């Protein structure tokens, strides 16, 4: 029987965690396949999650592929499907199709210093690379993270970041000053200029809102990072996830299939329509 | 395999195709032609262009992907998800235009590849396309010869019939085509020696009759690479109504949407359904955050033209437009892609 | 038909003096239909304007686009746009003014009179010409149509080629304008609501079967809605996908939006789409016929709107598109309105 690329596998939610509550709620889910389906994925790949009756949403897999016991997704509550996902608890079922996308070329980065730069929910797609780099620590040079959110409440993976500080420099920021906040105040791109990551033997990997990515790349260029040293993962509205529904294209690329990971060298050649 | 079929034998051949679902163009009460099931009715032999292309048979407006239901089992509700594959009889579309078959051949590339679309292929594998060479252009606005097609092109067809006055020259282009001939092999004759020359002449004549031309399509495709930021798109899209007709009626447009349709909310029961969609609707690319990469008509007109004449060329080395001219004829405000691309070619000259 | 040299002079003046941003008018078409909408920004291009019986398009739709365009700009150019309108089109402008969707200062109205004739119907024209392409359609001194094809000219009486709606015309010259080209002649209505007679004579079962067959053809391309100047809602209730989203729209608003119709072009969905759209246009539709003209599958949409127009007139004495101070049909009442359905 021919495999049907549109039929999801059923997965059970085994754990949920409220990362951010309130207006811009973010919830982390860990899910396991019901029928131990084969699902080998690479860092940076995504999966189409189904809530039957509501629809599907393309969410990046934020756990490291080296962890076999579960898959982790961190989801911002922003619309129909994500609101339905947020209503689910451990024991509920979702559909999973994938993995889709090209993933980060992490093997090419062996020996290099990795600078992770994230904004808001953008830390979720980067998280799989961060965790994989830690699990394969000797293969890489220095690791560091520059991450910011709108307010202290909006910072995602708060507990994990506290743990992370003992393993690599973590530079946090929020947009506007708050009492009890003693780290950087300002936008993430500005913090990048502040912390001046060195381009020597380095790869910068960034993800966040489109406008943040734009200015982070600009500032990295000002810090003398070459186009091939800057990587990002873009998003677009998706439905099929397999390059057929015609929706997510940037030029002749479909973000779901040919992306979502791009080096700035590749991305700047495409029409800036994302 | 090449044969001839006397025109008077044509209705008898159709009668022998009882084990196929036969689709033919038929005129409705308002005078519009569309592909419908023949149901034993008369099969017209005119060269004409239907409103909806045969893509609606291979890629229907609505396709059910799967059914889901929460069924009570052992005291608690379990989620059941079942795929729903189309149950398709062997189908033959008689009277397809070569450009429409070529469009099906292009759609085969989109729906094939690394992720095979099983719904499309279930229909495609069961469907045979019988085309008639266009001895006269079926539309005032067709331009197939400008986009590497022709009024007698073979791509996508299983049989190509050329009108030679009292008979048809029948070229079988695939095993499916041969099966159609075998269904009534007594009606088909070996072609006489002079027939091949007649066919060649008829084909050459038909190419000369195409009324509209798009000059230098390949150089235009190259030039489009640098025209992304041009003010041309804004000027040309001023009168666009963003109605969706150009894309819905295009034989090679394939954009779609996937939605869950609920039949009952408690206990939950419904279907996941694919429907046609179009890059011309403003919300096609809108993110949940409200950010829209293509917020205005200029960006959407540019997307349609670049997709057909540049992106597809870059990926498959073929034009996605087959030159049928439907978008030109049916646009309520007369936006003419040949004229727009002429302006692209002349831009900056 | 009006010779628009006076209108062109005015248009040139407006553009030279920068009094309007651009002018929306009619120009030559290239796709087989002789006329198409034309946007003119420079006074040198004004001579491209044409006026003839193939100028069927209702250009008022582009005033909606202009408003959307301005909303997207940080510092919009507040000058008016010039627009060519026929009598029917001008009534659409009145409705947009009545609903305060646009301001009178947003438009400079270049009116043209249809005189004793009107515009031609593409199906009737094609039939009369035996499928030959019409290159030019003009009106002669006897108010007959003269059609030029590649093979010569053909004459026809006006009624043979006039669009159905022109046979029920309520305004053969604009009811609102800044300049008017052509005569304010009377053109008596052939028969008000005459086009409805045949369908009204059908039984309920016959009508159901007629509409089911017609609406089953619909592929939900939404061309009817896109062509209508009065369908200007940013978020359409019978479109399950279209959502007016800004940065302030909450997740709950997006999550809880009800899908009144599905995208599937099934009988039930198509019926609801068309009937609800018709009801939302009751007391607003001025019968420009664009919905029916745009429909690629020739669904006779005008009947739905015309029927509601007739009910508005007969039940509530309501006629839209002449007085921009008129209150909306749905949000006003008279003491003498029928009440026999209240039991």
Q: Does the beta carbon of B283 lie under 8 angstroms from any beta carbon of chain C?
A: yes
Q: Closest-CA residue in chain A for B289?
A: A78
Nearest chain C CA: its distance from A80 CA (Å): 4
Q: What is the ipTM of this complex?
A: 0.93
Specify whether A23 is located in the same domain as A128.
Answer: no
> How many alpha carbons fall within 13 Å on the CB side of residue B255?
24
Contacts of A7 in chain B (CB under 8 A): 65-66, 81, 83
Cα nearest neighbour of A85 on chain C:
C255
Residue-range definition of the domain harbouring residue A166:
106-233
Confidence of residue C18 (pLDDT cuts 50, 70, 90): very high
Smallest CA-to-CA distance from B16 within B181, B252, B220, B214 is with B181
**Local confidence band at C195 (pLDDT 50, 70, 90 cut-offs):** confident
Q: Nearest residue on chain A to B316, judged by CA atoms?
A: A252
Q: Kindly list the residues from chain C whose CB atom is less than 8 angstroms away from the CB atom of residue B330.
A: 296
pLDDT at A35: 84
Q: What are the tens digits of pLDDT across the range A182-216?
A: 999 999 999 999 999 999 999 999 999 888 999 99
Residues A88 and A171 in one domain: no
- Is residue C162 within 8 A of residue C190, CB to CB? The reply is no
Within-domain flag for A175 = yes
| DSSP for residue B310 | I
Q: B77 in helix, strand or coil?
A: strand
Span B277-281, average pLDDT: 95
B116 to chain A: which residues are within 8 Å by CB? Answer: 2, 5
Question: Would the CB atoms of B254 and A244 count as touching at under 8 Å?
Answer: yes
Nearest CA to CA, how far is C298 from chain B (Å)?
7
| C-alpha of B277 from chain center | 15
B209 in contact with C, Cβ within 8 Å: no
Of B238, B288, B329, the CB nearest to C32: B329
Of A100, A117, A143, the position where a domain reaches its end is: A100
Position C244 scores a pLDDT of 82
Structural domain boundaries, residue B201: 2-346
Residue A247 lies in a domain: no
Residue of C221, C229, C272, C301 to mutate, interface with B, max B Cβ within 10 Å: C221
Q: How many domains is chain A built from?
A: 2
What is the distance in angstroms between the CA of the first residue and the CA of the last residue of chain A?
Answer: 38
Give the pLDDT mean for A66-91: 94
CB contact under 8 A, B336 and C62: no
Sequence-separated (6 or more) residues with CB below 8 Å from residue A24: A76, A77, A120, A150, A154
Q: Is the pLDDT of residue B164 over 90?
A: yes
For residues A151, A153, A156, A162, the Cα torsion angle rounded to the nearest 10 degrees is 100
Q: Report whether B180 contacts B164 (CB < 8 A).
A: no
With respect to residue A214, please indicate whether it lies within any of the assigned structural domains. Answer: yes
Give the one of B62, B140, B241 whose C-beta lies nearest to C61's C-beta. B241
Same domain assignment for residues A190 and A128: yes
pLDDT tens, residue by residue, A101-140: 999 999 999 999 999 999 999 999 999 999 999 999 999 9
Least confident range of A218-227, A250-259, C46-55, C135-144: C135-144
> Domains of chain C: which residue ranges?
1-190, 193-343
Tokens of residue C192, six digits:
């008000």
Enclosing H/E stretch for B171: strand B167-172
Q: Which residue has the higher pLDDT, B72 or A156?
A: A156
Both A51 and A155 in a single domain? Answer: no
Q: Which of A100, A116, A147 is the endpoint of a domain?
A: A100
- CB contacts of B276 in chain C (<8 Å) are 219-220, 265
Q: What is the pLDDT of residue B75?
A: 60
Q: With an 8 Å Cβ cutoff, is A53 touching chain B? A: yes
Give the domain CATH number at A81.
2.40.30.10
A113 lies in a domain?
Answer: yes
Query: For position B76, what pLDDT does the model report?
Result: 67
pLDDT tens column, A229-241: 999 999 999 999 9
Among B235, B241, B261, the strongest candidate for a mutation testing the C interface, having the largest count of C CBs within 10 A, is: B241
Question: In chain A, which residue's Cα lies nearest the Cα of B82?
Answer: A7
Domain finish residue from A100, A131, A149: A100
Chain C residues bordering chain A (beta-carbon distance below 8 Å): 250-252, 254-255, 257
Q: How many domains does chain B have?
A: 1
Which chains lie within 8 Å of chain C at 3 or more CB pairs, if any?
A, B
According to DSSP, residue C162 is labeled B
Question: Do A190 and A131 lie in a common domain?
Answer: yes
Same domain, A94 and A124: no
B31: confidence class by pLDDT, cuts 50, 70, 90: confident
C242-282 confidence digits (pLDDT tens): 778 887 889 999 988 888 999 999 999 999 999 999 999 99
Q: What is the pLDDT of residues B56-79, one digit of tens each?
A: 999 999 999 999 998 877 666 788
Percent of chain C with pLDDT over 70: 100
CA distance B126 to A84: 39
Query: Which residues of chain A have a Cβ shorter than 8 Å from any chain C Cβ?
Result: 23, 25, 77-80, 82-84
**The domain spanning residue A202 has which CATH number?**
3.40.50.80
Is residue A267 one of the residues assigned to a domain? Answer: no
């Amino acid at each position: 029987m021919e495999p049907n690329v549109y039929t999801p596998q059923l997965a059970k939610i085994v754990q949920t965690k409220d990362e951010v509550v309130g207006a811009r709620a973010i919830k982390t889910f860990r899910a396991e396949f019901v029928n131990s389906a084969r699902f080998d994925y690479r860092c940076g790949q995504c999966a189409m999650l189904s809530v039957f009756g509501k629809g599907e949403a393309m969410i990046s897999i934020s756990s490291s592929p080296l962890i076999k016991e579960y898959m982790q997704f961190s989801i911002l509550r922003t619309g129909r499907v994500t609101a339905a996902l947020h209503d689910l608890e451990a024991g509920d079922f979702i559909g999973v199709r994938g993995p889709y996308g090209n993933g980060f070329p992490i093997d090419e980065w062996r020996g290099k210093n990795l600078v992770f730069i994230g904004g808001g929910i953008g830390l979720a797609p980067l998280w799989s690379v961060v965790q994989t780099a830690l699990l394969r620590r000797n293969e890489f040079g220095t690791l560091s993270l520059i991450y910011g959110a709108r307010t202290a409440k909006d910072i995602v993976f708060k507990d994990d970041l506290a743990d992370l500080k003992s393993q690599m420099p973590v530079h946090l920021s929020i947009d506007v000053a708050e009492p009890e906040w003693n780290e950087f105040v300002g936008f993430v791109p500005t913090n990048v200029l502040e912390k001046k990551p060195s381009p020597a033997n380095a790869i910068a990997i960034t993800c966040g809102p489109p406008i943040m990515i734009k200015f982070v790349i600009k500032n990295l260029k000002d810090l003398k990072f070459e186009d091939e040293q800057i990587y990002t993962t873009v998003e677009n509205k998706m439905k099929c996830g397999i390059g057929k529904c015609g929706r997510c294209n940037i030029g002749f690329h479909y973000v779901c299939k040919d992306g979502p990971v791009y080096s700035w060298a590749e991305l700047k050649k495409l029409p800036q329509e994302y | 395999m090449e044969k001839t079929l006397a025109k008077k034998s044509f209705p008898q051949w159709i009668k022998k195709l009882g084990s196929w679902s036969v689709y033919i163009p038929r005129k409705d009460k308002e005078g519009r032609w569309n592909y419908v099931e023949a149901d034993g009715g008369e099969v017209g032999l005119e060269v004409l262009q239907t409103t909806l292309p045969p893509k609606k048979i291979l890629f229907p407006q609505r396709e059910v992907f799967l059914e889901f239901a929460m069924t009570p089992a052992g005291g608690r509700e379990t989620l059941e998800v079942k795929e729903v594959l189309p149950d398709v009889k062997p189908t033959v579309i008689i009277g397809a235009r070569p450009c429409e078959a070529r469009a099906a051949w292009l759609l085969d590339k989109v729906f094939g590849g690394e992720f095979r679309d099983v719904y499309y292929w279930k229909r495609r594998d069961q469907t045979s396309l019988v085309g008639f060479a266009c001895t006269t252009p079926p539309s005032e606005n067709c331009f197939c010869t400008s986009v590497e097609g022709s009024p007698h092109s073979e791509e996508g067809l299983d049989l190509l019939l050329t009108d030679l006055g009292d008979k048809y020259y029948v070229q079988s282009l695939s095993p499916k085509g041969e099966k159609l001939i075998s269904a009534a092999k007594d009606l088909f004759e070996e072609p006489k020696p002079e027939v091949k020359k007649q066919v060649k002449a008829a084909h050459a004549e038909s190419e000369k009759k195409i009324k509209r031309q798009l000059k230098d399509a390949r150089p235009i495709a190259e030039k489009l690479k640098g025209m992304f930021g041009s003010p041309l798109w804004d000027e040309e899209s001023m009168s666009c109504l963003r109605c969706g007709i150009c894309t819905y009626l295009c034989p090679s447009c394939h954009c779609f949407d996937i939605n869950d349709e609920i039949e009952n909310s408690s206990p939950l029961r419904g279907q996941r359904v694919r429907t046609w969609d179009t890059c011309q609707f403003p919300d096609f690319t809108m993110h949940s955050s409200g950010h829209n990469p293509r917020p205005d008509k200029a960006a959407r007109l540019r997307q349609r033209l670049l997709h057909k004449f540049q992106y597809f060329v870059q990926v498959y080395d073929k034009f996605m437009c087959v030159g049928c001219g439907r978008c030109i004829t049916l646009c309520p405000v007369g936006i003419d892609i040949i004229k727009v691309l002429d302006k692209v070619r002349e831009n900056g000259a | 038909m009006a010779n628009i040299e006076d209108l062109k002079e005015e248009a040139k003046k407006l553009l030279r003096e920068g009094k309007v941003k651009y002018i929306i008018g009619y120009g030559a078409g290239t796709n087989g239909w002789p006329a198409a909408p034309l946007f003119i920004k420079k006074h040198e291009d004004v001579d491209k304007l044409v006026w003839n019986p193939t100028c069927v398009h209702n250009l008022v739709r582009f005033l909606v686009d202009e408003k959307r365009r301005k909303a997207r700009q940080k510092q919009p150019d507040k000058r008016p746009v010039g627009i060519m309108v026929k009598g029917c089109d001008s009534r659409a402008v009145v409705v947009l003014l009545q609903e305060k969707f646009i301001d009178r200062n947003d438009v400079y109205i270049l009116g043209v009179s249809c005189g004793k004739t009107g515009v031609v119907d593409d199906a009737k024209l094609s039939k009369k010409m035996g499928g030959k392409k019409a290159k030019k359609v003009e009106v002669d001194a006897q108010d007959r149509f003269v059609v030029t094809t590649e093979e010569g000219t053909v004459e026809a009486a006006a009624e043979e080629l006039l669009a159905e709606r022109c046979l029920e015309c309520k305004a053969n010259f604009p009811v609102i304008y800044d300049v008017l080209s052509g005569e304010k002649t009377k053109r008596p209505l052939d028969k008000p609501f005459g086009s409805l007679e045949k369908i009204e004579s059908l039984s309920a079962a016959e009508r159901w079967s007629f509409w089911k067959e017609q609406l089953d053809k619909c592929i939900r391309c939404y061309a009817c809605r896109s062509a209508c100047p009065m369908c200007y809602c940013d978020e359409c209730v019978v479109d399950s996908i279209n959502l007016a989203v800004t940065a302030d729209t909450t997740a709950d608003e997006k999550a809880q939006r009800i899908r009144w119709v599905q995208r599937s072009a099934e009988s039930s969905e198509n019926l609801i789409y068309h009937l609800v759209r018709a009801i939302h246009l009751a007391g607003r539709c001025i019968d420009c016929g664009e919905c029916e003209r745009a429909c690629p599958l020739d669904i006779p949409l005008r009947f739905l709107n015309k029927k509601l127009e007739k009910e508005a007139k007969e039940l509530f004495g309501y006629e839209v598109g002449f007085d921009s101070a008129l209150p909306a049909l749905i949000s006003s009442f008279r003491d003498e309105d029928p009440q026999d359905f209240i039991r």
